[in-house]
Chain A
């Protein structure tokens, strides 16, 4: 996808216009390459990717890009509307909203990436074990996941944050926990399908170790749904973080977070629309970008995956 990628785009996927499902044997690297190529041909996905790139830059370099410090309190400049000096206006403490929105990108990305990372690591491990070993291991692990799945997402996150105390770390953990079962389920379903395939059975018959089979044969073959799930979960996780912050349970002041800015600005929305508008728009754009990319990936990698479970698992 980068400009440096010199490989010519492969010819349009071969044959049969009716069936464009990828062949099951494509491995992880191939999956990713195919996905990236396909993204390049989908305008919304390109837009989403560009937004994400910008976000990444802002997330990494927000401090330096921000025209002012995030905590430059100036009581003589309180609640000023957008102007040349403050393109997004100032907040109730006279701080530059643009700077805070820029710096807050890092929090959102960080919580999103880390929590989904946790969910991915734990969920995939659980799913692999449950799917591969079956029997009691499967039963115990998956019933455990069912239990976590039995709570509405935000409720569980709020409950976890409530007992552990609000803050960045607990919010990240809570979101990670909440999104774990979906990865476990996706992984397990994939493992069950792959387990019966010839190359896996062959590997078992020649005595390859379980760990090696899982890593070399199983994981690459379930990469597609996992990639899709990851990108969509990122969107949900960022929304969840914003919701927690909006409840005052996420990152604590004075550190800026989009949800928290909405929370703090709530009392002033009717006087100062910019306090409510810009942070919300930032959340929206970020989530939208992840969704666009995620949807495009799904179309390419896993076209039949709009399932009940996805509808079940949004942000609530």
Chain B
């Protein structure tokens, strides 16, 4: 990493790299508006790793995309977003584009589709350097070689001119990571970067990101539905459901004492070492449609605790369990056990699957 790249300005002290407050995203669809994200707050400090966890459709990807100005055109975004202390929501579209491109790197889920098939990987890795760091085409190419080397691609000098289809899935994801790091961003957003990969490769990628973070001091937002990954890499975790944060706190605290029934269910559903081949304890029912969110707790129809009518009609507030650990439920830790393997499991298991009176579309798959 001795290249010509100018690293992102390191912000002073504990100024968050990215700070989101009261972010709400509404998507216009053919069937009406769909609220994908509602009132989300979180921040990530320099060098910190935040894990954003939830099932697909819970709004976690939309949160970061909207925050960085990548939401679909049909989306209406409100709330405040500060990147390195600058308010992105106040910026013009093109300033936001430049600021984002310069200081945020993205790694998306599927390396097979993230790379443009008709351009060489070198071009794709380094084009942001041309755009943001004013490098020439030549400089950018040698920067690409460095980056490919950095992420562990063998013979980078030769591979730099290859097309994506000449790489395996794991190698492609390394290319994508190299691409994300091209401008030495202050923040790396990794959106389920390992989901599409096989287990061995997953571990390598996780390790690679952790290593790069240590070496470069980059803040990371790691989006995943897999709590298993979170334990190893994240400092803090935010669990999302139905577009809202339902639990947020330091990884240890959340794992040890999950406060929300949904978190407990997720923990129970996570594959555990030594239990290979065992059927995973899936959460019965389906996440709510963003087109048709219930007025109260979004998790209520699937909730093993179930509580009372209040849950159905009134949105529970985020209540602090400890100063750093907040939970959105009327029944915080009521059924919380003390150990993660006990947590939630009896609760989830207490209701037989299929006996779920969820109002949402019974015939739907």
Contacts and interface: CB of A to CB of B under 8 A. Distances in A.
Interface of A: 12-17, 20, 23
Contacts of A20: 30
Interface of B: 27, 29-32, 34, 57, 289-291, 360-361, 363-365
A22 to B, nearest CB: 12
A16 B289 contact: yes
A17 B361 contact: no
Give me the 9 closest cross-chain CB pairs, A-B, nearest first.
A17-B29, A14-B361, A12-B31, A14-B364, A15-B289, A15-B364, A17-B34, A15-B361, A17-B31
Contact of A17 (B30, B360, B363): B30
Contacts of B27: 17
A12 B361 contact: no
Nearest to A41: B30
B364 A17 contact: no
Nearest to B31: A12
A87 to B, nearest CB: 42
Nearest to A12: B31
Contacts of A15: 289, 291, 360-361, 364
Nearest to A18: B29
Contacts of B365: 23
A314 B289 CA distance: 41
A298 B363 CA distance: 24
25 contacts: A12-B31, A12-B32, A12-B291, A13-B31, A14-B289, A14-B360, A14-B361, A14-B363, A14-B364, A15-B289, A15-B291, A15-B360, A15-B361, A15-B364, A16-B57, A16-B289, A17-B27, A17-B29, A17-B30, A17-B31, A17-B34, A17-B290, A17-B291, A20-B30, A23-B365
A14 B289 CA distance: 9
A13 B32 CA distance: 11
Nearest to B290: A17
Given A13-B31, A15-B291, A17-B27, 15 more contacts: A12-B32, A12-B291, A14-B289, A14-B360, A14-B361, A15-B360, A15-B364, A16-B57, A16-B289, A17-B29, A17-B30, A17-B31, A17-B290, A20-B30, A23-B365
Contacts of B290: 17
Contacts of A14: 289, 360-361, 363-364
A304 B51 CA distance: 36
A15 B359 CA distance: 12
B341 to A, nearest CB: 33
Which of B30, B31, B290, B360 has most A Cβ within 10 Å? B31
A138 to B, nearest CB: 31
Contacts of A13: 31
A14 B364 CA distance: 7
Contacts of B363: 14
Contacts of B291: 12, 15, 17
A14 B29 CA distance: 12
A304 B128 CA distance: 33
Nearest to A13: B31
Nearest to A17: B29
Contacts of B29: 17
Nearest to B288: A15
A124 B277 CA distance: 46
Contacts of B360: 14-15
A23 B361 CA distance: 14
B27 to A, nearest CB: 7
A15 B365 CA distance: 10
Nearest to B365: A23
B114 to A, nearest CB: 18
A297 B200 CA distance: 46
Which of B30, B32, B363 has most A Cβ within 10 Å? B30
A34 to B, nearest CB: 14
Contacts of A16: 57, 289
Contacts of B30: 17, 20
A303 to B, nearest CB: 11
Nearest to B286: A15
Contacts of A12: 31-32, 291
Contacts of B289: 14-16
A109 B26 CA distance: 47
Nearest to B32: A12
Contacts of B31: 12-13, 17
A12 B361 CA distance: 11
A17 B27 CA distance: 9
A24 B365 CA distance: 11
Nearest to A20: B30
Nearest to B34: A17
Nearest to A23: B365
A167 to B, nearest CB: 48
A13 B361 CA distance: 10
B108 to A, nearest CB: 16
Nearest to B36: A17
A14 B360 CA distance: 9
A156 B365 CA distance: 47
Which of A13, A15, A16 has most B Cβ within 10 Å? A15
Contacts of B32: 12
